[in-house]
Amino acid sequence: MSDSVVVGLDVGGTSTRAAALSLNGVRLGTGRAGGGNPTSHGAERAAAELLAALRAALADIDPTRVRSGVIGLAGAGRLLADPQGRAAFDRAWSDAGLRCPYAVHGDALVAYASGTAAPDGTVLIAGTGAIAAQVRDLRLDRTADGHGWLLGDAGSGFWLGREAVRRLLSDLDRADPPSELARRVLAELTGSTEVADRPRATAESVVQAVTRRPPVELARLAPLVVAAAREGEATAQALIREAATLLADSVTRIRPAGVTDPVVLGGGLLTGDTPLAAAVRAELAHRWPDAPLHTAGDGAAAAAWLAARDLPEVTEPAALHALLVPPAA
């Protein structure tokens, strides 16, 4: 059994991580490459990054030892429905010397598995975007939000950035002195904290600065909100409270009241020591007081565990999870 190897990949828009692990818990290799999401980068480029990460992880391993693999990525359904995209991934898998099968799962499932081995539960992810998903028998069952910046992603990094700009524009419309958060946003967008004698002129400069950039770049303002909230700035703290409520509301759409299965928190805004993570934890604990809360961890290792649990020699998946998936720091 210890001679068998499983491979997991956690594929994101900015990086691709791979891990090769033995079934006795030894990490045999890791790899990292650029963004490998076919939706944002195209199938051929995504497959090239996938191959680079695989080759790095398998550098000291005979690929014939690999028994199974899992690729976790956002938009897994789109890849599976695209023959050309799937063919590109198949070629990358083969070019890495792998002859075993692999499965493709959504990144929400991989994030969930990185936090717990429980077959049923919920995962809430907040980064640039936001989504909640219900897991049943380690399969995604229902999801809430994740509708993108234009129609959803309530409580996400994009939402925080957009709402911070809106608060700034409201201050300028009223000709009120901008709040401390608004001043920081103004400086980030225009390079100055000065408000023109005619505040409308400054508001127009803010709007122009935002509309010249891709809309999703508003998420880059989220760290300003987080930092200001940590310092006790009132507007930022109000935004954090509202975001936490919106994220918990997304969970409420798919998670029944009173259940005690675990909730896993993922995404940069919820896995770090941020005011939003603390506020979301408090909100979820209030709504589901008996449910354990976990933090998402190593997605590549979790993907490898998902690959391993379907092997016939794996009889205790939960015990294997404790070996393969390190707890979140």
Per-residue confidence (pLDDT) for residue 77, from 0 to 100: 75
297-321 pLDDT tens trace: 999 999 999 999 989 888 898 898 9
pTM, whole model, 2 decimals?
0.90
Task: Pick the range with the lowest mean pLDDT from 220-229, 259-268, 310-319.
Answer: 310-319
Residues 175 and 285 in one domain: yes
Residues 73 and 185 in one domain: no
Tell me the pairing of strands 5-11 and 15-22. antiparallel
Residues 180 and 290 in one domain: yes
**Number of domains observed in the structure of the chain:** 2
Residues 72 and 163 in one domain: no
Contact present, 181 and 167 (Cβ < 8 Å): yes
202-220 pLDDT tens trace: 999 999 999 999 998 999 9
Residues 30 and 156 in one domain: no
Separation of alpha carbons 15 and 49, rounded Å: 9
Residues 155 and 271 in one domain: yes
Residues 67 and 187 in one domain: no
87-139 pLDDT tens trace: 999 999 999 999 999 999 988 999 999 999 999 999 999 998 899 999 999 99
Residue 73 falls inside a structural domain: yes
Residues 104 and 152 in one domain: no
- The residues that bridge with 30 in the sheet, in sequence order, are 19
Residue 267 falls inside a structural domain: yes
Residue 180 falls inside a structural domain: yes
Residue 329 falls inside a structural domain: no
* CATH code where residue 213 lies: 3.30.420.40
Residue-number span of the structural domain to which 85 is assigned: 5-115+297-324
Residues 166 and 214 in one domain: yes
